[in-house]
Amino acid sequence: MARFGMAIDTKKCVGCMDCVVACKTENNVPEGHNRDWIVTVANGKFPNVNLEIQSQRCNHCDNTPCVACCPTGASHVHEVGAVVLVDHNMCIGCKACLASCPYDARFVHPDGYADKCTFCIHRVEEGKLPACVSVCPTHCMYFGDLDDANSEVSRLIASRKNHPLLPEAGTSPRIFYLI
Amino acid sequence: MQELTTTRHNPQIDPFMQVWGWEIPVYLFLGGLVAGMMIISGYFIFSKRYKNTNCVTYTLPIISLLLLSLGMFSLFLDLEHKLYVWRLYTTFKISSPMSWGAWILILVYPVITANLLMDSPKFLADRFPQLDKIKNFIHERPVLIQNIGVGNMLLGGMLGVYTGVLLSTMGSRPLWNSSMLWVLFLISGLSTAAALVHMIAKDVDERELLAKADNGFLTIEIFVLALLLIGLLTSSSVHIEAAKLLISGAYAPAFWVFVVGMGVVIPLFIQLLAVNHKIKHTPIAPIMVIGGGLILRFIIVAAGQYSHYLNAHFK
Ligand code: SF4
Ligand code: SF4
């Protein structure tokens, strides 16, 4: 079974927010809510400063506290690519999954269910790339199977210095930032 | 130095998480209170105090049912998709404390009802004469009564533990991520219940016993609070930051004044004087304990949501 993940090149990302807009359009994300967002991390002290720009979203973790705590089974690991999804028709909106995510990647959709990035599974199942990946003007995002050692993401992660977000939270996130 | 800027501003999530407002603390408080009342009532049955017709075990079930229903209504109000609440009962998810809680609550109702049927309240007994027959049926069977007592203590214990486990399994929130949390919520549930039952009990012996028990629970609560904080302070940096929220941070004034002072230390002092017959028993100390228990849930739920892995790095 595939295990989808991403590699995002922070050396290329300029923080243009095209990924954010593409996601909102593709997934009809309601006004005032975001499934993906841009974080800039400024490190160091002048004159030795560097800026890392990260396009962030649900990390589709390997260890999923959000799925474990869900009382209805609405939050689940999809059979395609082990993508973490929410079944809107089963969600009671108890918000346990929101509280359990160390990345605060989820929010409550105005229609009353927990919502978050789906890795655009509806596109991926049609053989396309997630909307954010396909629109990025700098081509800084790579999407693919982490279990396939020959996939572009796996090779980039193996060959370039990288870090996931908050590894100490113990969820084994599957998005890696190339630095 | 590290500076972090984000474009995300999701409601209830940013700048810090506030997905659970007043409903969940009220639910956890009432759940803990009912759990404590079940344990006390069960103990009174088990220790044969029920033979005294004045025993408070005959008053508690109806109050427990009312408070528990209020608590569940509060939880219901918190749900974003209220019409789907029945989904909780179409599955049992072993990894989800919330699922455990939903099913425990379903088991708690019949156990309290069995306690109630031992001597139904007058307004019910007058309307349904069959209740008298049930009462006689139960009272002819001492083993059944013992089992009702044990059942109440057991389910009460499970309910009390669950209110803490619900939060403590969330590794994402360092303040909650302590195995002492369920002990704290269980002991706080017992102390608030002892305080409430103390005010309701008609039998002088029982009142004295409950005041003494409450002093015991409050003393243990001080140690549990200390152990919770020590546990966090000796853990990783994120846990240390989380403990500081209560010790010296944003939630410290409310924590020290209302939870530790008003909720534990002062009533303990008053009740120690009362059980040693230096002063008379008044409702002041029990009311303080109950207020402190409620505020404890509010502070833990709010501060826990605020505590975050990133907060330790970016202050
Ligand atoms: S990032 Fe959060 S919501 Fe996404 S899989 Fe991990 S824990 Fe779950
Ligand atoms: S909000 Fe919905 S998806 Fe999240 S834990 Fe509750 S029922 Fe599951």
Residue B2 has a pLDDT of 79
Whether B312 has a pLDDT exceeding 60, the answer reads: no
Instruction: Tell me if the bond preceding B15 is cis, omega within 30° of 0.
Output: yes
Topology at the third CATH level for domain A4-178: Alpha-Beta Plaits (3.30.70)
pLDDT (mean) for B164-180: 95
- CA angle, residues B232, B238, B240, in degrees to nearest 5: 40
Local confidence band at B311 (pLDDT 50, 70, 90 cut-offs) = low
- Say which of A44, A69, A106 has its CB closest to residue B98: A69
> Read out DSSP for chain A?
---EEEEEETTT-----HHHHHHHHHHTPPTT--SSEEEEEEEEETTEEEEEEEEE-----SS-HHHHT-SSS-EEE-TTTT-EEE-TTT-----HHHHH-TT---EE-TTSSEE---TTHHHHTTTPPPHHHHH-TT--EEEEETT-TTSHHHHHHHHS-EE-S-GGGSS--SEEEE-
Whether B268 has a pLDDT exceeding 50, the answer reads: yes
Ligand 1 centroid to Cα of residue B218, in Å, is 39
Whether B30 has a pLDDT exceeding 50, the answer reads: yes
- The domains of chain B, with CATH numbers, are 23-306 (1.20.1630.10)
Residue B190 tokens read as 């017992």
Type and span of the H or E element at B299? helix B284-306
Beta bridge partners of A108: A114
- Say which of B13, B87, B238 has its CB closest to residue A104: B13
- State the ipTM, two decimals: 0.94
Ligand 1 centroid to Cα of residue B221, in Å, is 35
Look at ligand 2, atom 4, and give the residue with the nearest C-alpha.
Answer: A97
Question: Is A4 a pocket residue for ligand 1 (Cβ < 6 Å)?
Answer: no
Q: Judged by CB atoms within 8 Å, which residues 132-151 of A form the interface with B?
A: none
Structure confidence by residue, pLDDT tens digits, B222-240:
999 999 999 999 999 999 9
Question: Is A97 a pocket residue for ligand 2 (Cβ < 6 Å)?
Answer: yes
pLDDT (mean) for B167-175: 95
- Say which of B19, B93, B238 has its CB closest to residue A70: B93
pLDDT (mean) for B182-203: 97
Local confidence band at B207 (pLDDT 50, 70, 90 cut-offs) = very high
Chain pair A-B, CB pairs under 8 angstroms: 151
Ligand 1: atom nearest CA of A84 is 5
pTM: 0.96
Across the interface, do A92 and B20 touch by the CB < 8 Å criterion? no
A151 CA to chain B: closest CA distance, Å? Answer: 30
Whether the CB of A38 is below 8 Å from some CB of chain B: the reply is yes
